[in-house]
Structure 1
Amino acid sequence: MAAVRRGTSRHRSHKQMISVPYVRVINGLNPGRVIIIKGVVKENALSFAVNLRFHSGISLHYNPRFSDNVVVRNSFLQDKWGKEESTGGLPFFRGQPFTLTICCEAQSFRILVNGHEIQHNYNYRHALVYEINKLEIDGDISLTSVVI
């Protein structure tokens, strides 16, 4: 049995990467929906971004910035960026795998990194989450899985 497990693990480590930038059309969000993004931060990473877009803006811009040691959260509404939020530190590490979980709740996005709740929760500035129609992921990462 041990040989089978080793073979399975080896097979999993050779997963095909998902190309970045990544764009996926989604049919709106609602409380209870969860997005799980798995990947690896590149060794020389400067930043990456996850955007939840709707027809004329970005409801959630989640942007780890390694040079500043922060994760910026923001929204792009009515053709302008809002005030950046950057509390909670940087829970990502260059060269390391990660799991980013974005939970759509009644009033906010609850965000977990590697299964841990970080102070990255983001109150809706565009409360019509059912209008969110696109997930975009770009930057200095390799993606292994995106589940919505």
Structure 2
Amino acid sequence: MAELGVGEDVRSGTPGKRLDTSGQISPFVSPSKDEQKQLAVPFCGSIKGGMRPGKKITIMGIVDPEPDSFDISLTCGCDDVALELSARFEDKQLMRNAHVSGSWGEEETAIPFFPFIPHQPFRMEIHCEHQSFRVIVDGQPLFDFYHRVHSLMAIDTIQINGSLTITKLN
């Protein structure tokens, strides 16, 4: 199981956005009542040992009652963004992109359905495979995002921001 720690200088990967992570230290496990405040959004934690084929991140949460958007990013510290997922509720889009060597790549938006419902829980799994990240929401495969960052072990930070509450990470 991976563990999370605190990132020092954190950004969301989206130009113009910055996350405030003051005082948040979180183990990458289901929280007790005292630990629930440690999964507050915006959230930033380290992925011990980085990513590798076969590793999975599970994010369980509840969408806010009147959501605007939320972002989940897997980054190489505060440098490259290996995967940024941006859920946009107004147009029911789930955008994906990567920021490598100082520039954003081509944005991907195609999905078979928009899985997030206001005020409802969800379970997102991000599976690291040899060629891509496979993202599954509530047991349904949603998309594959082919790796643009090739040093998977350098992907050591997860950042979560926006209109959701995190209930579990592992």
TM-score by length of 1: 0.85
2:52 maps to 1:35? no
d(CA) in 2 for partners of 1:29, 1:50: 15
Ranges in structure 1 where 5+ consecutive residues have no aligned partner: 1-13
Q: Pick from 87, 92, 96: which aligns with 1:69?
A: 92
Q: Alpha-carbon deviation of 1:137?
A: 0.7
Higher RCO, 1 or 2 (CA under 8 Å, sep at least 6)? 1
Q: Alpha-carbon deviation of 1:127?
A: 1.7
d(CA) in 2 for partners of 1:42, 1:66: 11
Runs of 4+ aligned residues of structure 1 deviating over 6 Å after TM superposition are none
Q: Alpha-carbon deviation of 1:57?
A: 1.1
Q: CA RMSD in A?
A: 1.4
Aligned residue in 2 for 1:48: 70
2:127 maps to 1:106? no
Structure with the largest fraction of helix: 1
State the one-letter code of the partner of 1:128: S
Identity %: 33
Larger Cα-atom Rg: 1
TM-score by length of 2: 0.74
Q: Is contact 1:48–1:64 with CA below 8 Å preserved after alignment?
A: yes
Q: Is contact 1:109–1:122 with CA below 8 Å preserved after alignment?
A: yes
